[in-house]
Amino acid sequence: MQYRLLGRTGLRVAPFALGAMTFGDTSWGTDETTSRAIVDRYLDAGGNFIDTANGYASGRSEEILGAVLAESGRRDEVVLATKFTAARRAGDPNAGGNGRKNILASLEESLRRLRTDYLDLYWLHIWDTVTPVEEVMSTFDALVRAGKVRAVGLSDTPAWYAAKAQLRAAAHGWEPVAALQLEYSLVERSIEREHVPAALDLGMGIVPWSPLAHGFLTGKYTRGGDDGIVGEGRVQALRASPYGRRHTERDWAVLASLVEIADELGASPAQVALSWVTSRPGVSSTLVGARTVAQLEDNLGALDVILSAEHLARLEQLGRPDLLHPYDLHVPEHTRRLHGGAVVAAG
Ligand SMILES: NC(=O)c1ccc[n+]([C@@H]2O[C@H](COP(=O)([O-])OP(=O)(O)OC[C@H]3O[C@@H](n4cnc5c(N)ncnc54)[C@H](OP(=O)(O)O)[C@@H]3O)[C@@H](O)[C@H]2O)c1
Protein backbone atom coordinates (compact mmCIF):
# COMPACT_ATOMS: atom_id res chain seq x y z
CA MET A 1 0.00 0.00 0.00
CA GLN A 2 1.16 3.51 -0.74
CA TYR A 3 -0.50 5.79 1.77
CA ARG A 4 -1.87 9.22 0.95
CA LEU A 5 -2.70 12.22 3.10
CA LEU A 6 -6.42 12.77 3.69
CA GLY A 7 -6.99 16.18 2.11
CA ARG A 8 -4.72 18.67 3.82
CA THR A 9 -4.59 16.82 7.14
CA GLY A 10 -1.62 14.85 8.43
CA LEU A 11 -3.70 11.64 8.50
CA ARG A 12 -2.10 8.94 6.35
CA VAL A 13 -4.74 6.78 4.71
CA ALA A 14 -4.58 3.71 2.47
CA PRO A 15 -5.74 4.21 -1.15
CA PHE A 16 -8.68 1.92 -0.33
CA ALA A 17 -10.78 2.52 2.77
CA LEU A 18 -12.90 -0.37 4.00
CA GLY A 19 -16.62 0.39 4.02
CA ALA A 20 -18.49 -1.39 6.82
CA MET A 21 -22.01 -0.73 5.53
CA THR A 22 -22.55 -4.44 4.84
CA PHE A 23 -21.61 -5.47 8.40
CA GLY A 24 -24.50 -6.94 10.37
CA ASP A 25 -27.08 -6.21 7.68
CA THR A 26 -29.38 -9.18 7.39
CA SER A 27 -30.88 -8.43 3.97
CA TRP A 28 -28.11 -7.55 1.47
CA GLY A 29 -25.17 -7.46 3.89
CA THR A 30 -23.03 -9.94 5.71
CA ASP A 31 -23.02 -11.70 9.10
CA GLU A 32 -20.70 -11.04 12.01
CA THR A 33 -18.28 -13.90 11.28
CA THR A 34 -17.68 -12.77 7.71
CA SER A 35 -17.51 -9.10 8.76
CA ARG A 36 -14.72 -9.99 11.19
CA ALA A 37 -12.85 -11.93 8.49
CA ILE A 38 -13.18 -8.97 6.11
CA VAL A 39 -11.67 -6.56 8.68
CA ASP A 40 -8.78 -8.96 9.43
CA ARG A 41 -8.02 -9.46 5.73
CA TYR A 42 -8.13 -5.71 5.06
CA LEU A 43 -5.78 -4.86 7.95
CA ASP A 44 -3.41 -7.72 7.09
CA ALA A 45 -3.19 -6.36 3.52
CA GLY A 46 -1.95 -3.03 4.93
CA GLY A 47 -5.28 -1.18 4.95
CA ASN A 48 -5.72 1.34 7.78
CA PHE A 49 -8.90 3.35 7.08
CA ILE A 50 -12.34 1.97 8.05
CA ASP A 51 -15.66 3.73 7.57
CA THR A 52 -19.01 3.08 9.23
CA ALA A 53 -22.06 5.11 10.33
CA ASN A 54 -24.42 5.19 13.29
CA GLY A 55 -27.28 4.21 10.98
CA TYR A 56 -25.69 1.16 9.31
CA ALA A 57 -27.70 -1.92 10.34
CA SER A 58 -29.17 0.25 13.13
CA GLY A 59 -25.81 0.42 14.95
CA ARG A 60 -24.82 -3.24 14.44
CA SER A 61 -22.05 -2.28 12.00
CA GLU A 62 -20.40 -0.07 14.66
CA GLU A 63 -20.85 -2.79 17.31
CA ILE A 64 -19.20 -5.47 15.17
CA LEU A 65 -16.34 -3.18 14.21
CA GLY A 66 -15.85 -2.09 17.83
CA ALA A 67 -15.68 -5.72 18.96
CA VAL A 68 -13.14 -6.73 16.28
CA LEU A 69 -10.86 -3.78 16.99
CA ALA A 70 -11.06 -4.13 20.76
CA GLU A 71 -10.44 -7.88 20.72
CA SER A 72 -7.56 -7.68 18.23
CA GLY A 73 -5.94 -4.75 20.04
CA ARG A 74 -5.57 -2.97 16.68
CA ARG A 75 -7.72 0.11 17.36
CA ASP A 76 -4.72 2.46 17.37
CA GLU A 77 -3.54 1.23 13.92
CA VAL A 78 -6.80 2.29 12.33
CA VAL A 79 -8.08 5.61 11.02
CA LEU A 80 -11.56 5.00 12.34
CA ALA A 81 -14.44 6.98 10.88
CA THR A 82 -18.16 7.06 11.58
CA LYS A 83 -21.05 9.37 10.77
CA PHE A 84 -24.05 11.08 12.36
CA THR A 85 -27.35 12.38 10.86
CA ALA A 86 -29.47 9.20 10.88
CA ALA A 87 -32.32 9.44 13.38
CA ARG A 88 -31.54 7.71 16.69
CA ARG A 89 -35.24 7.22 17.47
CA ALA A 90 -38.53 7.94 15.78
CA GLY A 91 -40.74 10.88 16.66
CA ASP A 92 -38.03 13.19 18.07
CA PRO A 93 -36.76 15.85 15.62
CA ASN A 94 -33.70 16.51 17.81
CA ALA A 95 -32.64 12.86 17.73
CA GLY A 96 -31.69 13.07 14.05
CA GLY A 97 -30.21 15.55 11.59
CA ASN A 98 -27.20 17.80 11.98
CA GLY A 99 -27.99 20.08 14.93
CA ARG A 100 -25.49 20.29 17.83
CA LYS A 101 -27.75 18.35 20.20
CA ASN A 102 -27.88 15.37 17.85
CA ILE A 103 -24.19 15.53 16.87
CA LEU A 104 -23.11 15.30 20.52
CA ALA A 105 -25.57 12.58 21.48
CA SER A 106 -24.80 10.53 18.34
CA LEU A 107 -21.08 10.75 19.06
CA GLU A 108 -21.48 9.36 22.59
CA GLU A 109 -23.54 6.45 21.28
CA SER A 110 -21.07 5.71 18.47
CA LEU A 111 -18.06 5.80 20.80
CA ARG A 112 -19.81 3.33 23.09
CA ARG A 113 -20.63 0.94 20.24
CA LEU A 114 -17.14 1.29 18.73
CA ARG A 115 -15.53 0.72 22.16
CA THR A 116 -13.19 3.68 21.82
CA ASP A 117 -12.88 7.13 23.37
CA TYR A 118 -12.04 9.01 20.16
CA LEU A 119 -12.71 8.99 16.42
CA ASP A 120 -10.06 9.70 13.81
CA LEU A 121 -12.65 11.18 11.48
CA TYR A 122 -16.25 12.23 12.13
CA TRP A 123 -18.53 12.70 9.13
CA LEU A 124 -21.77 14.61 8.75
CA HIS A 125 -23.59 11.84 6.85
CA ILE A 126 -26.22 13.69 4.81
CA TRP A 127 -27.14 17.36 4.51
CA ASP A 128 -30.38 17.78 6.46
CA THR A 129 -31.29 20.92 4.42
CA VAL A 130 -31.96 23.12 7.48
CA THR A 131 -29.16 23.25 10.11
CA PRO A 132 -26.94 26.35 9.79
CA VAL A 133 -23.43 25.48 8.65
CA GLU A 134 -21.94 27.54 11.51
CA GLU A 135 -23.56 25.24 14.07
CA VAL A 136 -22.08 22.15 12.43
CA MET A 137 -18.58 23.59 12.02
CA SER A 138 -18.35 25.14 15.49
CA THR A 139 -19.50 21.83 17.03
CA PHE A 140 -16.90 19.94 14.98
CA ASP A 141 -14.23 22.37 16.18
CA ALA A 142 -15.21 21.89 19.82
CA LEU A 143 -14.99 18.11 19.41
CA VAL A 144 -11.49 18.32 17.94
CA ARG A 145 -10.37 20.62 20.76
CA ALA A 146 -11.88 18.26 23.34
CA GLY A 147 -9.80 15.39 21.89
CA LYS A 148 -12.86 13.35 20.93
CA VAL A 149 -12.32 13.67 17.20
CA ARG A 150 -9.13 14.07 15.14
CA ALA A 151 -10.57 15.31 11.84
CA VAL A 152 -13.97 16.15 10.35
CA GLY A 153 -15.69 15.65 7.02
CA LEU A 154 -18.90 16.19 5.08
CA SER A 155 -20.77 13.51 3.16
CA ASP A 156 -23.58 13.98 0.65
CA THR A 157 -23.83 17.78 0.88
CA PRO A 158 -24.19 20.22 -2.01
CA ALA A 159 -20.87 21.70 -3.14
CA TRP A 160 -21.99 25.22 -2.16
CA TYR A 161 -22.61 24.02 1.40
CA ALA A 162 -19.17 22.38 1.63
CA ALA A 163 -17.51 25.53 0.26
CA LYS A 164 -19.40 27.69 2.77
CA ALA A 165 -18.38 25.34 5.61
CA GLN A 166 -14.73 25.52 4.62
CA LEU A 167 -14.71 29.32 4.30
CA ARG A 168 -16.57 29.82 7.59
CA ALA A 169 -14.05 27.50 9.30
CA ALA A 170 -11.14 29.49 7.87
CA ALA A 171 -12.70 32.81 8.92
CA HIS A 172 -13.25 31.63 12.51
CA GLY A 173 -10.07 29.57 12.90
CA TRP A 174 -12.16 26.39 13.28
CA GLU A 175 -11.05 22.90 12.30
CA PRO A 176 -11.32 22.72 8.49
CA VAL A 177 -13.20 20.10 6.49
CA ALA A 178 -10.67 17.34 5.77
CA ALA A 179 -12.67 15.51 3.14
CA LEU A 180 -15.91 15.09 1.24
CA GLN A 181 -17.53 11.65 0.98
CA LEU A 182 -19.59 11.37 -2.18
CA GLU A 183 -20.90 8.80 -4.64
CA TYR A 184 -18.43 8.45 -7.50
CA SER A 185 -18.00 5.72 -10.09
CA LEU A 186 -17.77 5.25 -13.85
CA VAL A 187 -21.58 5.47 -14.02
CA GLU A 188 -22.10 8.25 -11.44
CA ARG A 189 -19.86 11.20 -12.18
CA SER A 190 -22.09 14.15 -11.25
CA ILE A 191 -19.57 15.36 -8.64
CA GLU A 192 -17.15 16.31 -11.40
CA ARG A 193 -19.26 19.41 -12.13
CA GLU A 194 -19.04 21.21 -8.75
CA HIS A 195 -17.65 19.06 -5.91
CA VAL A 196 -14.31 18.08 -7.42
CA PRO A 197 -13.32 21.65 -8.43
CA ALA A 198 -14.45 22.93 -4.98
CA ALA A 199 -12.48 20.20 -3.19
CA LEU A 200 -9.33 20.89 -5.20
CA ASP A 201 -9.59 24.64 -4.67
CA LEU A 202 -10.44 24.49 -0.96
CA GLY A 203 -8.14 21.64 0.11
CA MET A 204 -10.69 18.93 0.84
CA GLY A 205 -9.89 15.32 -0.11
CA ILE A 206 -12.51 13.26 -1.93
CA VAL A 207 -13.51 9.87 -0.53
CA PRO A 208 -15.74 8.17 -3.13
CA TRP A 209 -18.51 5.77 -2.05
CA SER A 210 -20.12 3.01 -4.13
CA PRO A 211 -17.22 3.01 -6.62
CA LEU A 212 -18.69 -0.19 -8.13
CA ALA A 213 -22.20 1.31 -8.30
CA HIS A 214 -23.38 -1.24 -5.68
CA GLY A 215 -21.81 -4.08 -7.69
CA PHE A 216 -23.09 -3.13 -11.17
CA LEU A 217 -19.51 -2.49 -12.38
CA THR A 218 -18.30 -5.97 -11.43
CA GLY A 219 -19.75 -7.30 -14.68
CA LYS A 220 -22.00 -9.84 -12.93
CA TYR A 221 -25.20 -8.31 -14.30
CA THR A 222 -26.44 -8.59 -17.87
CA ARG A 223 -29.36 -7.09 -19.75
CA GLY A 224 -32.54 -9.10 -20.04
CA GLY A 225 -35.50 -10.49 -18.12
CA ASP A 226 -38.70 -8.66 -17.23
CA ASP A 227 -36.81 -6.01 -15.22
CA GLY A 228 -34.17 -5.40 -17.88
CA ILE A 229 -31.38 -6.76 -15.66
CA VAL A 230 -30.31 -10.30 -14.81
CA GLY A 231 -27.92 -11.33 -12.03
CA GLU A 232 -27.93 -11.76 -8.27
CA GLY A 233 -26.76 -9.19 -5.75
CA ARG A 234 -27.42 -5.90 -4.04
CA VAL A 235 -28.32 -4.10 -7.26
CA GLN A 236 -31.40 -6.32 -7.51
CA ALA A 237 -32.20 -5.97 -3.81
CA LEU A 238 -32.07 -2.16 -4.08
CA ARG A 239 -34.32 -1.92 -7.12
CA ALA A 240 -37.44 -1.95 -4.94
CA SER A 241 -36.04 0.80 -2.66
CA PRO A 242 -35.72 4.56 -3.25
CA TYR A 243 -31.95 4.00 -3.72
CA GLY A 244 -32.42 1.67 -6.69
CA ARG A 245 -30.95 2.86 -9.95
CA ARG A 246 -32.66 2.43 -13.33
CA HIS A 247 -29.73 1.61 -15.56
CA THR A 248 -29.55 3.70 -18.70
CA GLU A 249 -28.26 2.92 -22.20
CA ARG A 250 -25.14 4.84 -21.23
CA ASP A 251 -24.60 2.73 -18.08
CA TRP A 252 -24.71 -0.44 -20.16
CA ALA A 253 -22.35 1.05 -22.75
CA VAL A 254 -19.92 2.02 -19.97
CA LEU A 255 -20.10 -1.51 -18.56
CA ALA A 256 -19.46 -3.09 -21.99
CA SER A 257 -16.32 -0.99 -22.53
CA LEU A 258 -15.16 -1.63 -18.98
CA VAL A 259 -15.43 -5.40 -19.49
CA GLU A 260 -13.52 -5.06 -22.78
CA ILE A 261 -10.67 -3.13 -21.12
CA ALA A 262 -10.57 -5.57 -18.19
CA ASP A 263 -10.22 -8.47 -20.65
CA GLU A 264 -7.37 -6.69 -22.43
CA LEU A 265 -5.59 -6.24 -19.09
CA GLY A 266 -6.35 -9.69 -17.68
CA ALA A 267 -7.99 -7.97 -14.71
CA SER A 268 -11.53 -8.11 -13.34
CA PRO A 269 -13.97 -5.31 -14.27
CA ALA A 270 -14.18 -4.41 -10.55
CA GLN A 271 -10.41 -3.93 -10.40
CA VAL A 272 -10.39 -1.66 -13.44
CA ALA A 273 -13.37 0.36 -12.16
CA LEU A 274 -11.66 0.82 -8.77
CA SER A 275 -8.32 1.68 -10.33
CA TRP A 276 -10.03 4.38 -12.43
CA VAL A 277 -11.68 5.99 -9.37
CA THR A 278 -8.43 6.06 -7.39
CA SER A 279 -6.70 7.79 -10.31
CA ARG A 280 -9.18 10.67 -10.48
CA PRO A 281 -8.19 14.23 -9.46
CA GLY A 282 -8.68 15.01 -5.79
CA VAL A 283 -9.38 11.44 -4.64
CA SER A 284 -7.64 10.67 -1.33
CA SER A 285 -8.98 7.20 -0.58
CA THR A 286 -11.74 5.14 -2.20
CA LEU A 287 -14.30 3.21 -0.13
CA VAL A 288 -14.46 -0.45 -1.08
CA GLY A 289 -17.47 -2.49 -0.03
CA ALA A 290 -17.57 -6.28 0.17
CA ARG A 291 -20.09 -8.89 1.25
CA THR A 292 -17.51 -11.72 1.19
CA VAL A 293 -13.77 -12.06 1.75
CA ALA A 294 -13.39 -13.21 -1.88
CA GLN A 295 -14.94 -9.93 -3.09
CA LEU A 296 -12.52 -7.97 -0.92
CA GLU A 297 -9.59 -9.98 -2.34
CA ASP A 298 -10.74 -9.21 -5.86
CA ASN A 299 -11.11 -5.51 -5.05
CA LEU A 300 -7.72 -5.20 -3.34
CA GLY A 301 -6.21 -6.66 -6.53
CA ALA A 302 -6.97 -3.27 -8.11
CA LEU A 303 -3.81 -2.00 -6.40
CA ASP A 304 -1.79 -4.04 -8.91
CA VAL A 305 -3.69 -2.85 -11.98
CA ILE A 306 -1.80 -0.27 -14.01
CA LEU A 307 -3.99 1.60 -16.46
CA SER A 308 -2.17 3.03 -19.48
CA ALA A 309 -2.79 6.60 -20.64
CA GLU A 310 -4.86 5.13 -23.49
CA HIS A 311 -7.02 3.05 -21.12
CA LEU A 312 -7.51 6.05 -18.83
CA ALA A 313 -8.51 8.20 -21.81
CA ARG A 314 -11.03 5.58 -23.01
CA LEU A 315 -12.53 5.23 -19.55
CA GLU A 316 -12.55 9.00 -19.04
CA GLN A 317 -14.69 9.54 -22.12
CA LEU A 318 -17.23 6.82 -21.36
CA GLY A 319 -19.58 8.35 -18.83
CA ARG A 320 -18.47 11.97 -18.88
CA PRO A 321 -21.28 14.07 -17.33
CA ASP A 322 -23.38 16.11 -19.74
CA LEU A 323 -22.40 19.76 -19.98
CA LEU A 324 -25.46 21.35 -18.39
CA HIS A 325 -25.76 25.12 -18.09
CA PRO A 326 -23.58 27.04 -17.14
CA TYR A 327 -20.79 24.49 -17.63
CA ASP A 328 -21.51 24.41 -21.37
CA LEU A 329 -20.12 27.97 -21.48
CA HIS A 330 -16.80 27.00 -19.89
CA VAL A 331 -15.45 24.76 -22.65
CA PRO A 332 -12.26 25.86 -24.48
CA GLU A 333 -14.15 27.00 -27.64
CA HIS A 334 -15.99 29.61 -25.57
CA THR A 335 -13.35 30.65 -23.03
CA ARG A 336 -10.77 31.23 -25.78
CA ARG A 337 -13.05 33.93 -27.20
CA LEU A 338 -13.17 35.61 -23.79
CA HIS A 339 -9.38 35.79 -23.85
CA GLY A 340 -9.22 37.42 -27.28
CA GLY A 341 -8.41 34.13 -29.00
CA ALA A 342 -5.50 33.25 -26.67
CA VAL A 343 -5.20 30.05 -24.63
CA VAL A 344 -4.96 30.98 -20.93
CA ALA A 345 -4.33 28.42 -18.18
CA ALA A 346 -4.73 29.04 -14.45
CA GLY A 347 -1.46 29.72 -12.57
N1 LIG B 1 -21.94 8.46 2.59
C2 LIG B 1 -22.89 7.73 2.04
O3 LIG B 1 -24.02 8.18 1.85
C4 LIG B 1 -22.59 6.33 1.65
C5 LIG B 1 -23.51 5.60 0.86
C6 LIG B 1 -23.16 4.31 0.49
C7 LIG B 1 -21.96 3.75 0.90
N8 LIG B 1 -21.11 4.48 1.70
C9 LIG B 1 -19.82 3.91 2.15
O10 LIG B 1 -19.11 3.38 1.05
C11 LIG B 1 -18.80 2.01 1.28
C12 LIG B 1 -18.77 1.29 -0.03
O13 LIG B 1 -20.04 1.44 -0.68
P14 LIG B 1 -20.71 0.23 -1.44
O15 LIG B 1 -20.73 -0.96 -0.55
O16 LIG B 1 -22.00 0.73 -2.00
O17 LIG B 1 -19.62 0.00 -2.59
P18 LIG B 1 -19.68 -0.77 -3.97
O19 LIG B 1 -18.29 -1.26 -4.19
O20 LIG B 1 -20.26 0.08 -5.03
O21 LIG B 1 -20.66 -2.01 -3.74
C22 LIG B 1 -20.29 -3.08 -2.91
C23 LIG B 1 -21.16 -4.30 -3.22
O24 LIG B 1 -20.90 -4.74 -4.55
C25 LIG B 1 -20.76 -6.17 -4.57
N26 LIG B 1 -19.33 -6.46 -4.83
C27 LIG B 1 -18.26 -5.77 -4.32
N28 LIG B 1 -17.12 -6.27 -4.81
C29 LIG B 1 -17.44 -7.26 -5.63
C30 LIG B 1 -16.68 -8.15 -6.45
N31 LIG B 1 -15.35 -8.06 -6.49
N32 LIG B 1 -17.35 -9.07 -7.19
C33 LIG B 1 -18.69 -9.14 -7.17
N34 LIG B 1 -19.47 -8.32 -6.42
C35 LIG B 1 -18.86 -7.40 -5.65
C36 LIG B 1 -21.22 -6.66 -3.20
O37 LIG B 1 -22.64 -6.78 -3.18
P38 LIG B 1 -23.41 -8.12 -3.64
O39 LIG B 1 -22.52 -9.28 -3.37
O40 LIG B 1 -24.65 -8.13 -2.84
O41 LIG B 1 -23.67 -7.95 -5.10
C42 LIG B 1 -20.85 -5.48 -2.32
O43 LIG B 1 -21.55 -5.44 -1.12
C44 LIG B 1 -19.85 1.56 2.29
O45 LIG B 1 -19.47 0.44 3.04
C46 LIG B 1 -19.97 2.78 3.16
O47 LIG B 1 -18.90 2.82 4.10
C48 LIG B 1 -21.40 5.75 2.05
In the chain, where the domains are located: 4-307
Distance 139 CA to ligand 1 centre (A): 30
Closest atom of ligand 1 relative to the 211 alpha carbon: 20
Percent of the chain with pLDDT over 70: 100
The matching CATH number, chosen from 3.10.20.30, 3.20.20.100, 1.10.3210.10, 3.40.50.300, for 4-307 is 3.20.20.100
Mutate to test the pocket of ligand 1, among 30, 188, 214, 285 (most ligand atoms within 8 A of CB): 214
Closest atom of ligand 1 relative to the 182 alpha carbon: 1
Query: Which residues are identified as catalytic?
Result: 56
Using CA positions, which residue lies closest to atom 8 of ligand 1? 209
Q: For 190-199, 266-275, 307-316, which range has the lowest pLDDT when averaged over its residues?
A: 307-316
Closest atom of ligand 1 relative to the 51 alpha carbon: 47
**C-beta 271 within 6 A of ligand 1:** no
**C-beta 82 within 6 A of ligand 1:** no
φ/ψ of residue 16, rounded to 5:
-115, 125
pLDDT at position 262 over 80: yes
Distance 28 CA to ligand 1 centre (A): 10
Closest atom of ligand 1 relative to the 53 alpha carbon: 47
Alpha helices in 203-308 (DSSP H): 234-238, 249-265, 269-278, 293-300
pLDDT digits (tens, 9 = 90+) for 13-29: 999 999 999 999 988 99
**C-beta 270 within 6 A of ligand 1:** yes
Distance 288 CA to ligand 1 centre (A): 6
Which pLDDT score is estimated for 306?
93
Distances (CA, A) of 304 to 72, 119, 147, 261, 269: 28, 31, 37, 15, 13
Percent of the chain with pLDDT over 90: 87
| C-alpha neighbours within 13 Å on the C-beta side of residue 131 | 24
Distance 177 CA to ligand 1 centre (A): 24
Which pLDDT score is estimated for 4?
95
pLDDT at position 331 over 90: no
Tell me the pLDDT band of 142, cut-offs 50, 70 and 90.
very high
